[in-house]
Amino acid sequence: MENYFVVVKNKHKKGELKAKQIIIDSLQDNLLAYVGNLRKSKDMYDKLAGMYEVSNLNEIISLLRSNLSPSLLLLLSYFGGGSM
């Protein structure tokens, strides 16, 4: 039974290292500095996800406006009533 736990623990370690390496390989240098000191891949993921969470409607509209074409912005301002 003890041997089973050693095998599971080693498998978990390998998976953790793989997950961390995938995250590190996919990040730009400026973001790597932000999460590089964290020990677990879950902590890295949570911190990165928290950076991009949108907490209110104004943030959503701001993100949309930064990524939409001018014609869609005009439509958004017409129905939203907000200023561009």
User: Which pTM was predicted?
Assistant: 0.54
Do residues 54 and 41 make contact, with C-beta atoms less than 8 angstroms apart? no
pLDDT of 63 reads 67
pLDDT by residue (tens digit) across 11-36? 888 888 898 888 888 887 778 888 88
**Residue 65 contacts by C-beta under 8 Å, 6 or more apart in sequence?**
73, 76, 84
User: Higher-confidence residue: 1 or 84?
Assistant: 1
pLDDT by residue (tens digit) across 46-69? 888 887 777 777 777 776 666 666
pLDDT of 64 reads 66
Mean pLDDT of 55-84: 66
pLDDT of 35 reads 86
Mean pLDDT of 59-84: 65
**Phi-psi domain of 20 (left: phi exceeds 0; alpha: psi -120 through 50; beta: other):** alpha
